[in-house]
Amino acid sequence: MLVLSRQRDETIIIGDSIRITIVEVRGDKVRIGIDAPKDVAVHRQEVYDAIKREVEEADS
């Protein structure tokens, strides 16, 4: 895992097409903005896990 320090309004680039920008830092919470192509799914971990479970249950 790569760990980076960023401040508000600073951006991280992944590949040529994904940009992650720090929007706000408030206490122990960080708001980020993600700009990615429409064909790249972007989910919070808990949403991704729920989708994966539903797909696995449907396949059973």
Is residue 60 scored above 90 in pLDDT? no
Q: How far apart are CA 27 and CA 36, in angstroms?
A: 27
pTM recorded for the entire structure: 0.82
Report domain extents, the chain.
Answer: 11-59
Compare 59 and 23 and report the one with higher pLDDT. Answer: 23
**Contacts (Cβ under 8 Å, ≥6 apart) of 19:** 11, 12, 13, 34, 35, 36
pLDDT per residue as tens digits for the range 20-35: 999 999 999 999 999 9
